[in-house]
A and B are shown apart, each in its own frame.
Chain A
């Protein structure tokens, strides 16, 4: 008993510094944020308590509503398009061939390039007199040319596609790690039974890969809902509110409009969205893990 108690207090003593730091720099600011989200506050004066007004206003503010819609579109695109593509890429580069290492590096390369650099370079390429329109012109497709980031219909889809350029490589590498952890003797046994091609994929690869799918989907959804840097650098949410994301709307409410109380409410709403979507997604994919 004495020994256990001493063990307990030793543990507590070791935990204390980390706990203190965590409480001070995470929970305290978080609780403060909850308070500020119910206030009218410009960041420097005294906050004025206004009840639920900030939360109510979130649902009528086009920046927030359009931002939420775009963030959800991004998440859906990530689940429906990005993940299958990343899985396909991973399956392909998992095969042994001569330039495999080079292709794996090439696919992962966009992940290590700074997103700011990426945004600036792509921004130049996509301008009206940029590389892509030049190609279209030379192909005789002048009617397709446009300011890709400067029109309502193309600005956010362009941002989605650009984000995939980076995200697919990242997800593919995680899938690749998952694929390589599947014991080869499972395939050998199935092949002895006559299984081939898609049957192997359907009955061995996919079920064995489900834990990885769960993780990748989780990262995809959270990443999509938190998307900020690409639209911030490339379009600042425009034209109009067409390429706003929820995170960008929160940022602009705080730092462009000095409306910190409202921005904090937006931040808390964003956190709730991420938690809800993630819980739903995790429960669905985990159930599939068991079923498969």
Chain B
């Protein structure tokens, strides 16, 4: 009886081991970040991609190639981009399938981290931070033909450059954002875009008197609180001193600096005077964008995607269309500084088995006919010499004028640890909730900075 039990157990264990072995084999393809190639030959093709003709001649194999992203949502220009990529890639690989691995928001990066750790990351990946290529996750693209299409700024972009090598291609150069306003409403009330903080407060007061919410906030998405604070601090700190961030990093400037205090005092004044929507902390940013699109709010502080987003919101909500205006946040004297960054970059998984296929996909995703309209939707300028961006909305010309005037592209977040940024954002939400600002509140930011200073990766 016991012998039987032992033999049964051994038999079961054998089956488990066999199944486990099979399972490993199956997951091997995926775990190597190779997608799920149906034809095993595709996994061993190592020839360089040299153009559409070469590719079309020998690329009738079936395979699935995976693309990871955190932002490709259901907005029309995002959907159009994905469709254009799929159509473009079909011309090269008629039997290939693109699998979009989309996880919206910051969770994507957590997932990506786990995927790289388990060798199951997508073949082609959108990314923002340097951590990935420092860890050896991305393929070195320095000598690839795609690099020759980049502008000088693109080739030097800190978003992709590491130790003299390019580990990705930057897509769009984007201003960080600013204040978008309802120009029709401003004209109706005889308001002009403010140039100083006092004028800004005056505009808010007049909008409030007209029964409108001066500024729509959606601080349930805390990154919008961070954006507002960061953009304002940019003008207070960096406009008159481009070394502001580095001085902060070196400890020459502390977080109780008058410039930082001024930003928080402004928030307090605006909160006390009722310049924000009363549900500012319990609605997310799409809800605040809806409030703005409806015409009930006069201004919103957001990124360069606002023209496209606002147009969509007006269409979807059936609101009365209006012309959008833009001005940057300013300091007391009227100085402004609009930082420019890279909206997203593309990289190839260093362990992909679909090397030529991934390179070809990168070519398609950055081609002029595909990338141009997506960049327009993002409100971004191109890093590629052969990709032209045409903006439908004249407000983008205004934005460009301010960007051209700005001399510095780094932000406060580049010089301080994330925990200090979080602590400052906490303080913003605290002040917006109605708690008065005390300079001593900034001690928590200073503490966070000192605790995690070692985690900062300086931009230069």
Contact = CB atoms under 8 A, between A and B. Distances in A.
Contact of B418 (A7, A45, A151, A258): A258
A129 interface: yes
Contact of A238 (B107, B281, B447): B281
Contact of B434 (A10, A151, A238): A151
Main SS at interface, chain B? helix
Nearest to A260: B113
A81 B13 CA distance: 51
Contacts of B429: 238-240
B282 A126 contact: yes
Given A149-B282, A152-B433, A256-B106, A45 B131 contact: yes
Interface of A: 6-7, 10, 13-14, 17, 40, 42-45, 48, 57, 60-63, 123, 126-129, 147-152, 155, 235-242, 252-253, 255-259, 262
Given A152-B434, A240-B430, A252 B422 contact: yes
Interface residues of B, number: 46
B135 A128 contact: no
B427 A240 contact: yes
B423 A44 contact: no
B110 A259 contact: no
B4 to A, nearest CB: 11
Main SS at interface, chain A? loop
A151 B278 CA distance: 11
A239 B419 contact: no
Given A13-B9, A44-B116, A128-B278, A239 B432 contact: yes
Nearest to A257: B418
Interface string B362-376: 000000000000000
Contact of A45 (B5, B135, B220): B135
B455 A44 contact: no
Given A60-B447, A255-B106, A256-B422, A45 B282 contact: no
Interface in B421-446: 422-423, 426-427, 429-430, 432-435, 444
A50 B451 CA distance: 12
Nearest to A7: B2
A57 B455 CA distance: 15
B408 interface: no
Nearest to B131: A44
Contacts of A129: 278-279
B282 A259 contact: no
Contacts of B452: 257, 259, 262
A167 B131 CA distance: 42
10 contacts: A6-B2, A14-B9, A123-B282, A129-B279, A148-B282, A236-B220, A238-B281, A238-B433, A240-B426, A241-B426
